[in-house]
Amino acid sequence: MINISLRIIALILLIASVSCKSQKKIMNSWLGSTKQNLIMNWGPPARVASDGGDGEILVYAKEEYLNFTKQTFHFYDYKMFYVNKKGKIYHWVTQRQHIPPMQIDLNVYKRN
């Protein structure tokens, strides 16, 4: 029984690792692309803010719910793209939070 549980945990960790690597590859593929291309492919962002310089941060949010026995967890998966003044994506951040897009403090994400 313990051996089966360890195998299940190992499988879950392996799947999570592959998923994270895939997400990183997808996000990295956007580096150097244009803001216009991103919006044409992903649609309008949930929010746009200054990056602390001459560029902006485009915030995409996906609302998620996880149901566990008698309890539901509600959160947002964020993908934030940093765009320079020439309209090129130069950085990205992903994060999971319980705060809705219009309430998230984007000052924390400004690049200095």
| Domain 32-109, CATH | 3.30.1450
Confidence band of 25 (pLDDT split at 50, 70, 90):
confident
Cα maximum dimension of the chain: 58
Give yes or no for residue 110 having a pLDDT over 70: yes
Confidence band of 112 (pLDDT split at 50, 70, 90):
low
In angstroms, rounded to a whole number, what is the distance separating the alpha carbons of residues 74 and 98? Answer: 7
Nearest by Cα to 56 from 23, 24, 29, 34: 34
Predicted confidence (pLDDT) per residue in 26-85, tens digit:
899 999 999 999 999 999 999 999 999 999 999 999 998 777 667 777 889 999 999 999
